[in-house]
Structure 1
Amino acid sequence: MPDQPRTTNQIVLAQHRNRFEESTQFGNTLTRFFEAQGITAVRFESDMYISSIWWIHATLPKSSLEIFDIAREALFVYADLNRIQPRLLNQIIERFGGHQSLDSDIVFIASNSVDAERLAEQREGTSISIIPLNLREIERDGGKPIKKTLERWLPVFDRYNVTRPLRRTDDLFGRKDELSEIVFSLRHGQSVGLFGLRKAGKTSILNAIQTTRSKSGSFVVQLDMSKFVNAAHFRKTIVEECWKSATSVLNKANKSTRALHREGFLGTLDTKGQATSDVDTLVMGWLDDVTAVTETVKLPLELIIDEIDTIFPGQSTQFLDHELQDFSVVMRQLRGLLQADDRQQPQAVLLCAGVNPAIFESSTTPDGRNNQLYKLVRLTFLKPLTFDDSSRMVRSLGSKMGVKYGGQETTESLYAYFGGHPMLTRQACSEICKLRPDGSFPWTVSQSEIFRVVSSRDIGSVYQQAKEIATQFTQWFPQEAELLRTLWHSDPEMQKFANEIVNEDNEALLHARAYGLIDPDSPPRSRIGMITNVFSKS
């Protein structure tokens, strides 16, 4: 018979456990499973809205902690439901946000629904490893050992292979300083342009800032220029998204949204926030309505725009010339909101991202006209990760899959090839994981697996990804790209010639330095070995 609880916390925990066991069909089954597996529950909490859902915090046995690096409490969700909807994942993410003691990379879902396994297989776009526990199997035969369950399900999610930008700040490695600096600028009315190499993590940073700023009650709208058909589509979307965000901000602050629903208050929107399809009305009234909504919220609009460089004349492959001229008009109008007069802060602040900063960096457009967006934002350049941050990312992501990078020489090799570029490093590690022998838990990566991956020239290989990055850099900065080819030429005389140019002109490799293709040393030193290899062979 277990010892009687002695402390107040133990008494409260026992009371909640008893209520869980008495009010659920399989509560006793799950708590007996915990005891048999050495899992220690430290919190039982029923869901506020659905009585058949319970939230349980627990610590795993030492053997699992060491193998899979689950250092904090694990979240178990008891869900006695016929169907588990993907929206449960949103609740789980909210739970992680409100409880810092939880390991936010993993969740156990105890259920009888086949949907739990489906969620574990598909994950619906989340970066959380989902471990399903079948309650009827546990009731019938005690269930599989927790270590075996982790070995079965953790490798299902290749944590390295992220095909879409991240959204959670917990998923970002080595970007704390960039996030803090950008948020500081936004809070003080300073617009920011974030530029860097393809797949360097720019969109993930925008997503993380949008998430954190919205949670803090800020008035935020996030847009992606690559998703618009033309400027009319942009105007329609921005007024609708401003209305939605404003409604959310006011509701969270328990303030009235009556003005936003008033007939005739906004010229381009109806009382439900739907924009008119009349192009002329949108052209004439979109900016007035954005301004009116902003004044109603009484907060500056924090406008986040990705792929901003796609609307710069002479640089875009997405829009026709007349569409780019229309976008130019839109941005000139928007500039009035972004620039404060002598009496007040600006009504809006812009955070944008792209690869080519010419839209803010060049005083003229390629056709010789004055660039109205010149120096509109403070430019900041996103460099690759440091060695320490890159190594931490590699080890941390791998540990949740039972993949170990043993001595420092393996992470040093990865850094020599990829220089801390997040996507290239993760893609390489993802390919390395495919070489893992069946049943190897944990598995330690060796130099031979790294060499096999970096040597591949197959379609979709890491080399081909590096080649795409080099190609895009060449498209935007052809003179710098040519100089890099000369600098990394096999002929020492060519290298000497390139170094002389760099020594005479400190800005000859301005963007190559800013983007981290080379270290800021003089003479310049290659940082991303794989991209250096691409340039030297082109």
Structure 2
Amino acid sequence: MQKGIISELYRPRGYGFIRSMNEEKVFFHASNLVNVKYEKLKEGDIVHFETLKNNKGYKAINIKCQFENKTTPGINPAVKLGHFNSSEKDILNALSKIFYLTNGGAVFKMGTNSQYAYCLLKPTTFFSEQFNLNREIVLVFSNYETFEPRTLDAISKAYSLVSELRVDKICSIVVSKDSQFEKKLKDLLKSNIEMQVVIPFSYGELLSIIKFPDKYYDLIIKRFRTYFYERDLFAFFAPLQKDLYFFGRQAYVQDLVNKHFTNENSGVFGLRRSGKTSVLNAVCRTLNRIDGKWILIDCEVLSNLRWNTALYYIVQAICKQYKIKLLHNKMDYTDEDVAILFEQDMLYCNDQLKGKSLLVLIDEIEHITFEIALSNNWRKDDDFIRFWRVLRGYYQKYPNKMTFIIAGTNPKSIETSFIDGYDNPLFKQLPSDKYLGTFSVQDTKEMINKLGAYMGLKFDDIVSANISQEMGGHPFLIRQFCSKVNEFINQKHLEKPIVITKVIYDQVLPIFEEKDLHDYCEMIINVLKTSYSEEYKMLENIALENKQVILEQRDNKSIFYHLIGYGLIEKTGDFFGFRNEAVKKYIQQKNKYNKLLKTDEEKWAEISERRNKIEPSLRTIVKLQLKSSLGETTGKTKILNAMKAETQQKYKSLSYNDLFDTKKCEVYFYQMSKIIIDNWKLFSNLFSLNKNTFQSYTTIINNLRADCHAAPVSNSELQSFRGAISSLEKEINNAV
């Protein structure tokens, strides 16, 4: 049976129309109702029905009304609309044929001159199912001829006037007098991707069709579909600034806040794009709700300062954020006086903050970490030690006045005991649980179905579990994969809402792996490559299943420490395995030709594949270089001279271009390499190798030809082949 909503009723004649889920209008007659009387039927009721074709088209039969837990259109009898003008009342009366008006709201002011009105609408069951809207929606009227961005602030103000548990935080409706409102809003949202879904209407467009219920319904449903289904709520790249799209780590955030109030410092370390800065932002928002005090410091800014002025910068930032008058200036913070002045300034700030403990959140610590910072004074000099001696000293003296959270990708700053023979002030200053955990299956399911439902996507349980496992619970990878799912659905013009089953998942995963995964993984695990090369090498061994190497190192805890901490691998007994299948596939693909091959069949498969890959490029190089240097006639002679006599006779009638067409001429790797070697002066400028080296590489490759597949390939022969062809691949790619 199909599902739809009663969109029109013609009472005197006993018939009406159903709007199906794919927006088609289907005629029905009262005689085809099964479980409800025509007199009891209302516009907005959800029905299930079958269709029957007649000479006028299709009509609905066997119509059953859905009664359970339904919200039907209308106006709550207790609602008062006296504060709305006549146009707004007309609009609300029309909307009450689609929504249930639960609360008349009020008029409120923004600033000294701006005035807005709001009310609350309850989505009908149909809207709830289509757009995952289960709570009331705030509707704001902006009775001004020109839309200004402050109208969006009016939405926030309206939210503050009602219980946050009552309204839907992700969606609101704004009705403006500006006829260009929709266009202006779209332009504004381009620079504010975390803005909630705002459904825009103008007074004019709503009033112009107020007497045409069918057009009214079409406009409302299409506008909702546009702003929900065409927006990609997964496509976030920057750290999240609002709670609206923050998932999975509320308990972790609360734990960090609790540690602050018990005078404990904390660490938040993880791979790139794992959500560290989003967590810090969430901590700040949590403190704001309880009037807690905090300051967020980006170490990229500190990296451009010396240690003493970096401390002054922290004091300056606190004073600026909380409107506190500075006691000292930057020039006062000399090497000799900085510790004393910093303590005086921090105590003064604490007094101005009424004794409330301050949480200092220090993000991207690697920018000021010894040995890895970009600035010489932090990387090589003693700025790190001096800076943290002062900051740690203040904390140790006044633990109830300040704590800190250190966040970053590289925990070197807190794991190293000595720096050039001096004690590291941060060593053993943080609890052991400093790594940011990955998403559980439940976290993944909650996030993708909450956001997906607003976009018309419902991920079934199997797919949710697969996504969580495949992406290793990494929230950025999860979001980007789901974004690719949404892109696939739109490109294939599949109708929303739609259930994302394993069939669709299996279609999208190879596309994601081919087009996006490499770049994302390269970015995410770069910290291992640059800072923990031995551990990255072990990660490669685990991905390539080099069991002997893993077995030899299984008791070396240090080599697995960060891999486990970052959530890339897990250990059970003496066995290690990947938690992040996406990273595993990336490493396997990147090291495809480094894997230890056990059978001759596997070895010959690699040899053939790699030869076949470079042959077309080699053919292109020879074709273009001979033509540009010698012309087609002489070039053709050079090609034929590289062939055996009987082969020359076979192909001498072919044109120059046809000699390079594999369907017409058998010219392969051997012939191409021979032409290059015999005419080295014509090709030498294309390669960084000398002639002898080039010839030795091609000889090694030619000795392992496809017609020798029956012969065994030793490990030493395979290693020689890999070395030769890897070098040639780079040379040929550069030449092309």
**Residue 253 of structure 2 aligns to a residue in which SS?**
helix
Matches within 5 A, 1:79-158: 79-93=142-156, 95-96=158-159, 99-113=164-178, 114-123=180-189, 124-142=192-210, 143=216, 144-158=218-232
1:353-403, Cα deviation, whole Å (9 max, x unpaired)? 1111121122123x4432122122334211210011112211111110112
What is aligned with 1:254?
none
What is aligned with 1:30?
91
What is aligned with 1:467?
522
Matches within 5 A, 1:379-458: 379=432, 380-405=434-459, 407-436=460-489, 437-438=492-493, 440-447=495-502, 449-456=504-511
1:239-283, Cα deviation, whole Å (9 max, x unpaired)? 232113434xxxxxxxxxxxx45xxx7122xxxxxxx57775997
What is aligned with 1:257?
none
Q: Which amino acid is 1:360 matched to?
A: I
1:272-306, Cα deviation, whole Å (9 max, x unpaired)? xxxx5777599744553233212332222211111
**Residue 508 of structure 1 aligns to a residue in which SS?**
helix
Shift of 1:122: 3.9
Q: Which amino acid is 1:111 matched to?
A: S
Measured in 1, the distance between the counterparts of 2:286 and 2:259 equals: 15
Q: Which amino acid is 2:202 matched to?
A: N
What is aligned with 2:30?
none
Q: Which of 105, 116, 119 is the aligned partner of 1:56?
A: 119
Q: Kindly indicate whether the alpha-carbon contact (under 8 Å) linking 1:309 and 1:356 is maintained by their aligned counterparts in 2.
A: yes
Shift of 1:84: 3.7
Measured in 2, the distance between the counterparts of 1:501 and 1:234 equals: 42
Number of residue-to-residue matches in the alignment: 494
Alpha-carbon spacing, 1:411–1:134, altered in 2? closer, same or farther (3 Å): same
**Residue 247 of structure 2 aligns to a residue in which SS?**
coil
**Residue 139 of structure 2 aligns to a residue in which SS?**
strand
Alpha-carbon spacing, 1:192–1:313, altered in 2? closer, same or farther (3 Å): same
Q: Which of 358, 373, 376 is the aligned partner of 1:316?
A: 373
What is aligned with 1:300?
357
What is aligned with 1:271?
none
Q: Which amino acid is 2:348 matched to?
A: A
Q: Which has the higher contact order (CA 8 A, sep 6+)?
A: 1
Alpha-carbon spacing, 1:308–1:460, altered in 2? closer, same or farther (3 Å): farther
**Residue 200 of structure 2 aligns to a residue in which SS?**
strand
Measured in 2, the distance between the counterparts of 1:85 and 1:283 equals: 50
**TM-score, normalised to structure 1's length?**
0.84
The range that moved more, 130-139 or 368-377, is 368-377
Alpha-carbon spacing, 1:191–1:82, altered in 2? closer, same or farther (3 Å): farther
What is aligned with 1:19?
83
Measured in 2, the distance between the counterparts of 1:148 and 1:282 equals: 68
Shift of 1:520: 4.2
Q: Kindly indicate whether the alpha-carbon contact (under 8 Å) linking 1:73 and 1:101 is maintained by their aligned counterparts in 2.
A: yes
User: In the alignment, does 2:132 pair up with 1:69?
Assistant: yes
What is aligned with 1:273?
none
Matches within 5 A, 1:95-244: 95-96=158-159, 99-113=164-178, 114-123=180-189, 124-142=192-210, 143=216, 144-228=218-302, 229-231=304-306, 234-244=310-320
**TM-score, normalised to structure 2's length?**
0.62
What is aligned with 1:251?
none
Q: Kindly indicate whether the alpha-carbon contact (under 8 Å) linking 2:293 and 2:358 is maintained by their aligned counterparts in 1.
A: yes
User: In the alignment, does 2:548 pair up with 1:488?
Assistant: no
User: In the alignment, does 2:404 pair up with 1:350?
Assistant: yes
**Residue 509 of structure 1 aligns to a residue in which SS?**
helix
Unaligned ranges ≥5, structure 2: 1-74, 211-215, 592-736
1:413-449, Cα deviation, whole Å (9 max, x unpaired)? 3123202110001011112211123472213334454
**Residue 382 of structure 1 aligns to a residue in which SS?**
coil
Measured in 1, the distance between the counterparts of 2:342 and 2:153 equals: 33
Identity across aligned pairs (percent)?
20
Q: Kindly indicate whether the alpha-carbon contact (under 8 Å) linking 1:453 and 1:462 is maintained by their aligned counterparts in 2.
A: no
Alpha-carbon spacing, 1:126–1:93, altered in 2? closer, same or farther (3 Å): farther
Q: Kindly indicate whether the alpha-carbon contact (under 8 Å) linking 1:74 and 1:103 is maintained by their aligned counterparts in 2.
A: yes
Measured in 1, the distance between the counterparts of 2:166 and 2:540 equals: 50
Shift of 1:195: 0.7
Q: Kindly indicate whether the alpha-carbon contact (under 8 Å) linking 1:120 and 1:132 is maintained by their aligned counterparts in 2.
A: no
